[in-house]
Amino acid sequence: MAISDFNIEDVLFLMILGFSLAAPLGPVNMEMIKQVLRSKFGYILGIFTGLGALTGDFLVASFVLFLSIEFLKDFVENFYVFIILSCINIGILLFIGINAIKNNEIENLDSTENNLELDNRLFGVLKQYIIGLIIVITSPWSYFWWASFGGILINSGLPLFDIGDRLIAIFFFLTGILLWILLLTYSLRLSRKFASDKILKLIIKGSAYLIIAFAILITYETIAFIFNFPSLR
């Protein structure tokens, strides 16, 4: 095991893959957008939402690199596992989406009030970390994505000879995801200074509706899985 086994092309390949996985529109990004735009402290909440999701990706990636793609497929394609994961995922998405629609108050950037005590802030950070983690590890499509992508990664010519090499590969991959998290949250933090409260509320509400739309899509896919309907995947 040695980082020297990885050349610069390998490192960039893994980081770009991580960045590209994190960048597309999805529930985690929608939740990060919602949190960052809502308050001054939302920047931190958005980051920890992303870190929770990053932890989830690490756990799922570990299935592929340390166990096997076949094990992962058998796990997620088990009827009961698929149903349980889907129901939890649908529940958490509906919860955060509906809650955002019901409560879309915006904290004024010029406010000097400390609206959140330290204990509440720590609870908020932990809550958002757990939400990000649960969104990823309860989504069957996280496992399906890794089941298909894992073979590409393993057969890509990367020096994945032992556990140490695979840990290094995961580290660079997650670094790409982390770069996206920091880029997205910082960009939103800057844009928040120039947008009116009305625009911010529209974006937050739009993010909430998209999260609910993802829940509806997953509900259909779950029904399709149960009754053998055509899948949209």
Give the pLDDT means over successive 10-residue stretches in the chain (233 positions): 68 86 85 87 92 92 73 80 91 89 65 55 90 92 76 66 76 91 92 79 86 91 86 66
Rounded to 10°, the helix 42-62/118-137 angle is 30
SS3 68: coil
Residue carrying the six token digits 């140490």: 164
Does the model's pTM come out above 0.85? no
Residue carrying the six token digits 């053998």: 228
Q: How far apart are CA 25 and CA 27, in angstroms?
A: 7
